[in-house]
Amino acid sequence: MTPDKQTPCDRCEDLLDDYRQGRLPTEERKQLEDHLEHCDVCKAELLFRNELVTHLRNSMPTGPTPVGLSPAVHAAIQMPKHKLSQNSRKMVLIPWMFAAAVLVIFAVAFYNNRLTQSFDYDNIVAVQVMRGPTIHSEEKADKKSARKESPSEMMDIGRSADPDNGLKQETVMPSAPQPENAVNSVKDDNQLFETSRAGGMTLRSLDKNIPTQSAALPTTTTLNSDTFTTTESLRETTATQQPAQQTWLPVTENK
Partner 1 sequence: MRFENIPHLLVQRAREGQTDAMEEFCLMVQPGAYAVLLSLLRNHDDASDALQDSMVRIIRFLPSMRDPRALPGWLMRLLTNQAAESRRRGVAPVIDVGELEEGAAGAAVAATSSQPLSPRRSAETHEMNARINQAVATLSERQKVALVLFEIEDLSIIEVARIMEITSGAVKFHLHEARKNMRARLRLIGVSGSSLCEEAPTR
What sign has the CA pseudo-torsion 103, 109, 112, 114? negative
Residue 86 touches partner 1, criterion: CB under 8 A: no
Question: What is the footprint of partner 1 within residues 145-204 (CB under 8 A)?
Answer: none
- Residue choice 33, 34, 37, 51 for contact with partner 1 (CB under 8 A): 51
Which residues lie across from 127 on neighbouring strands? 203
Q: How many residues bind partner 1 (CB under 8 A)?
A: 44
Q: Exposed, middle or buried: residue 140 (CB in 10 Å: 0-12, 13-18, 19+)?
A: middle
Residue 21 touches partner 1, criterion: CB under 8 A: yes
Query: Are 127 and 203 within 8 A, CB to CB?
Result: yes
Q: Phi and psi for 213 in degrees, rounded to 5?
A: -60, -45
Residue 2 touches partner 1, criterion: CB under 8 A: no
Instruction: Considering only the stretches 16-24, 149-157, 158-166, 169-177, report the one whose residues sit in contact with partner 1 under the rule CB under 8 A.
Output: 16-24
Q: If we measure between CA atoms, which residue out of 195, 193, 255 comes closest to residue 229? A: 255
Residue 13's identity, in one-letter code, is E
Residue 41 touches partner 1, criterion: CB under 8 A: yes
Residue 69 touches partner 1, criterion: CB under 8 A: yes
Residue 94 touches partner 1, criterion: CB under 8 A: no
- Residue choice 33, 34, 53, 104 for contact with partner 1 (CB under 8 A): 53
Minimum Å gap between C-beta 98 and partner 1 is 20
Q: Where are the alpha helices (DSSP H) in 162-226?
A: 180-190, 212-216
Residue 116 touches partner 1, criterion: CB under 8 A: no
- Residue choice 47, 99, 105, 109 for contact with partner 1 (CB under 8 A): 47
Minimum Å gap between C-beta 47 and partner 1 is 4
Which DSSP symbol is given to 156?
E
Other CB atoms within a 10 A radius of the CB of residue 32 amount to 21
CA dist., res. 230 & res. 227, Å (int):
10
Query: Are 222 and 243 within 8 A, CB to CB?
Result: no
Residue 61 touches partner 1, criterion: CB under 8 A: yes
Residue 72 touches partner 1, criterion: CB under 8 A: yes
Other CB atoms within a 10 A radius of the CB of residue 25 amount to 9
Residue 139's identity, in one-letter code, is E
- Residue choice 34, 38, 87, 99 for contact with partner 1 (CB under 8 A): 87
Residue 93 touches partner 1, criterion: CB under 8 A: no
Positions in the binding site for partner 1 (CB under 8 A): 6-8, 13-14, 17, 21, 23, 41-42, 44-45, 47-49, 51-61, 63-66, 68-70, 72-74, 76-78, 81, 84-85, 87-88
